[in-house]
Structure 1
């Protein structure tokens, strides 16, 4: 089959992993790479090849390195990044380091930009588009480094072969200068990019909506407490005394971020990027509103190239072998064919509790929801048949929750729409999870979960099919940026500038409406114990932040959002808990058990620079606490 995504044809030409090796050492290769258009395009693909492997739980620290996804504790199969979640970061060989990788990517972007003008057989329009793509990638790789390390050495150009030792020993640039340079690059690139990609083999290339949306997101980072007047970082200075973090809060940064968000929304909507909504028919069946909402929420993540996705990372696919396999419950556990559906990545109870009630407010605020009795149990009735198996006894925690809870979490007794069963008019035929020890989805193996009792349904394509002999996985490129993310960023920025305005409410409510819950200004007065919470900047900030943590759950956003809000030190010092998955009945299963006590300190907001780099370059100063 000739249809392919262009990134998959990359030449795996990774250069030296040494950040300091900025002087090109492959001159003959570079000369050959730009002799004609076809060769230059291969080098363009090489620049894309450094995009992070976001879908890989072994590579993305924001998946298993935080508090949102908890992994089976068996050290023989646990990912290295799970050690990050357990506070075991180090300076000798930092876990999840992007330092060498991103600087290598920046180096190749610079090589491309220096040499593309001499390609003889490329027209001006295409050349300018390629230049814009690579400028964006160069900016994005700088941003990844800033997000991880804070202030970094900016690399505008590669050093020449004749560079002196002193020229190679660069210092870190102040964080405001880093953000300024990143935005300058994106501004240079954004209007030379195409509005959309029409050729299927090039899906995943950078477009105008991608550039505008990432500019907005990056400016929101720059405006957030971690980078905007962060006095915790007052002692981080270069050897010459240069202050690396600004010490004065600037509201102007929030205003610029808000303007960029609105501009990006307009660009995206002009490109027909909008919230995904499932048609009323699916697989030949007419859907109830309940299931239609659930499918809208699930397909917004897993349906390839759907209208909600601004940027999908074709360098990293959710495919067989990752979370879609090892994070999935096995529907044929007695089969003789081992397919590694091990259910060994789960959501901790504190993440489960984050989702709203059916009334669209937090479970500890809802006047009609029994928060203190959430660990007690009762049996599902006919009215819950599309959420919970009728007659099944499960925790009160699982009743009367918002649609995203049921669409994105698998739990004991919960309906799992899929596995070839799509007729919601016959709920008795739909699959449901049985998580207690000895039941089908808990075989008691040291190699398999569940861990907490809550599976990551959101990331598992509902058309995956387990047969007695195999497991067929529908793969999809990792959704790096969705329009719902942008809407919520805009609401956040507007609130920081002017409080809970009508426009801020409008954009958060767009996300809530698709999620099947009431607008903020209806839900809080009607159901919350704090009815006027949304009317103050502080209260509305809490609402927006919780909305982001729910809407973007398990998409590698919480890890970074908590950091930029400076809330990691609170949230990641809370205990990780789950149900007693060794329980054999409802009475013994539904007890909260401690899985791990996390430890997060000030130093953990940023990665350490490795000792090796510091030894080679004494002008680099280490991050605070390391």
Structure 2
């Protein structure tokens, strides 16, 4: 994302690792030895922070492949994001985009990160001025990071070499080049590392001033749940597309048959993680208007609960906030230019992150069912014009014509999306009242294209990612209240558990309970009530297949714009369907509402079976003859 942003001030955020540097930066010239790093507690801790520094920067739009590699966003043609090249079908084996195997073209070298973790684990025992319990905790953090980097590589490339320990100096060529390990071996090793780490990690951070962002036991157990749900999903659980895929040594790399036991194991891991999280006080965030200087409506309160579950740093729903990845520039891309026409700060924001029209259609109706299923909602007339009235005043501009698609939708639709005619809450205070801007983005209006790179190509913006306390100032200033990127939050874990439990045992009170907790916070009816009363398929929730569809759409909605959709579509093997649909938006070149609200094809995406796994860089294959390319590449 092009970084065109002028900041007056950034809200004070305590984060631990912003000044972390590589080990070679912390020792005198010519004395860069491993022994030096482990002579003192202070230098050993800095080496540990080096291990943390390889964490993928998911709060940076360009650093998170799930943002632009799929279909959730589309960008102006001038954009040079590496991940967006993948979405456009330009991935290749010579210069791989978002290369996390070697660390280039937008990716970090995660195998180097694993190597640093192994160095730390091999040498932490030498540090003299540390207690045993502190060493155990640091070892656990390094084990977690080592497991997480393996996990990240695994979800991208499938079977990978397991780097259990570093290759010694003077090792033979046979030792230097390891083969890939089968899927089940990868999963079991990652899980074992996470279990070993969890045994010595704290249940919570006590010293929040200096340690927020470091790994805890709830983080480790939640990542374990993620790993096992991924392993149980169709991409890796008996995938027929890869049934005969072998390494050069003849070993099968994928299991040939699906295992129901994998879902049972995943459900148990999810349950253990959420039980621990709840015991430590994690809960779904709800906005508390008691601490607000003015009265807000119930509608606004619900929408602030949805937005602030992401944007309010260290809120009680955040299991893991990544202090190495602050959500700053991504906010500048998520807010329309010219939101406040009275200011001259149009140049302070970028406004080029554009959710696609299919994403706008994905959100439920106000009855909590898909708009194509709601028997009371006019799906065929969704592109017709309607005028906002007083009844919709908290979400739509009164007297303004917009698409029928924008009426009678669930609160997450209005909390997550900015669009022509939609209310944009926040971005500064005036006379003790909240600013209620509205977006106007037809040709010639304030939020329309001002240049070739700083506008939404679809007519939508991801409002969910923008802190409502940000302030549009005078001149060309835009003050951003940054927050650590939410790597894990409780709603994600609840939905993972509902999915795993449904796959393991079918619909049950337990499955309904955890999906309904998320829906309750979102201000929509329970699954049972919504489908029984409003769906054209009222019994859908009563069987495993129907509930699977419901849970999957719930995840896609609840976790929209958080870097989850791309990975979920892959693991469910739905990407070949979804990522072959055209990318569409509104006709931005039109001034008239009737002409503007015509669906326009922006790009025809293509996705084939080979795209489910990242290609291994060709140069790696030339070096390591024990590794072969992923199928289709």
**Aligned residue among 449, 452, 457 for 1:446:** 452
**2:136 alignment partner in structure 1:** 128
* Paired residues of 2:23 and 2:46 also in contact (CA < 8 A): no
Residue 259, structure 1, aligned to residue 265, structure 2? no
**2:93 alignment partner in structure 1:** 91
Within 5 Å, give how 1:162-561 maps onto structure 2.
Answer: 162-199=170-207, 200-319=209-328, 322-330=329-337, 331-332=339-340, 339-421=347-429, 430-469=436-475, 470-561=477-568
**Aligned residue among 52, 59, 76 for 2:56:** 52
Partner Cα separation in structure 2 for residue 134 and residue 99 of structure 1: 19
State the secondary structure of the residue aligned to 1:418. Answer: strand
Greater mean alpha carbon deviation, residues 442-451 or residues 529-538: 442-451
**Aligned residue among 62, 74, 77 for 1:73:** 77
Greater mean alpha carbon deviation, residues 327-336 or residues 254-263: 327-336
TM-score by length of 1: 0.95
1:468 Cα deviation (Å)? 2.5
State the secondary structure of the residue aligned to 2:362. Answer: coil
Deviation digits for residues 507-538 of structure 1, max 9, x if unmatched? 00000000000000000010000000000100
Greater mean alpha carbon deviation, residues 188-197 or residues 445-454: 445-454
Deviation digits for residues 478-508 of structure 1, max 9, x if unmatched? 1001100000000001110111111000000
Within 5 Å, give how 1:554-593 maps onto structure 2.
Answer: 554-593=561-600
**2:8 alignment partner in structure 1:** none
Change (3 A) 1:37 1:443: same
Deviation digits for residues 251-307 of structure 1, max 9, x if unmatched? 111001100111101100111011000113353112221111011001000000100
Q: Once superposed, which parts of structure 1, at least 4 consecutive aligned residues long, lie more than 4 Å away?
A: 332-338, 421-424
Partner Cα separation in structure 1 for residue 552 and residue 584 of structure 2: 22
State the secondary structure of the residue aligned to 1:6. Answer: coil
State the secondary structure of the residue aligned to 1:442. Answer: coil
**1:23 alignment partner in structure 2:** none
Change (3 A) 1:279 1:177: same
* Paired residues of 2:182 and 2:252 also in contact (CA < 8 A): yes
Residue 612, structure 1, aligned to residue 624, structure 2? no
State the secondary structure of the residue aligned to 2:493. Answer: helix
TM-score by length of 2: 0.94
Residue 36, structure 1, aligned to residue 46, structure 2? no
* Paired residues of 1:326 and 1:340 also in contact (CA < 8 A): no
* Paired residues of 1:422 and 1:430 also in contact (CA < 8 A): no
Q: Which runs of 5+ in 2 are unaligned?
A: 1-10, 103-108
Partner Cα separation in structure 1 for residue 429 and residue 506 of structure 2: 46
1:449 Cα deviation (Å)? 1.4
* Paired residues of 1:332 and 1:468 also in contact (CA < 8 A): no
Partner Cα separation in structure 1 for residue 485 and residue 173 of structure 2: 41
1:158 Cα deviation (Å)? 0.1
State the secondary structure of the residue aligned to 1:419. Answer: strand
State the secondary structure of the residue aligned to 1:624. Answer: coil
Within 5 Å, give how 1:129-168 maps onto structure 2.
Answer: 129-168=137-176
Greater mean alpha carbon deviation, residues 246-255 or residues 284-293: 284-293
Deviation digits for residues 377-431 of structure 1, max 9, x if unmatched? 110111000010111110000000000000010011100000224899x89x611
1:333 Cα deviation (Å)? 5.8
Deviation digits for residues 22-72 of structure 1, max 9, x if unmatched? xxxx99421100001111000110110010010112121100111001111
* Paired residues of 1:71 and 1:78 also in contact (CA < 8 A): no
1:338 Cα deviation (Å)? 5.8
* Paired residues of 2:382 and 2:404 also in contact (CA < 8 A): yes
**Residues matched between the structures, number:** 610
1:198 Cα deviation (Å)? 2.5
Change (3 A) 1:423 1:260: farther
Residue 7, structure 1, aligned to residue 17, structure 2? yes
Q: How large is the RMSD of aligned CA atoms in angstroms?
A: 1.8
Greater mean alpha carbon deviation, residues 143-152 or residues 26-35: 26-35
Greater mean alpha carbon deviation, residues 329-338 or residues 85-94: 329-338
State the secondary structure of the residue aligned to 1:431. Answer: strand
* Paired residues of 1:407 and 1:457 also in contact (CA < 8 A): yes
Deviation digits for residues 186-238 of structure 1, max 9, x if unmatched? 11110211111122221000001101111111110010000100110123211
Partner Cα separation in structure 2 for residue 183 and residue 397 of structure 1: 44
**1:18 alignment partner in structure 2:** none
* Paired residues of 1:10 and 1:45 also in contact (CA < 8 A): yes
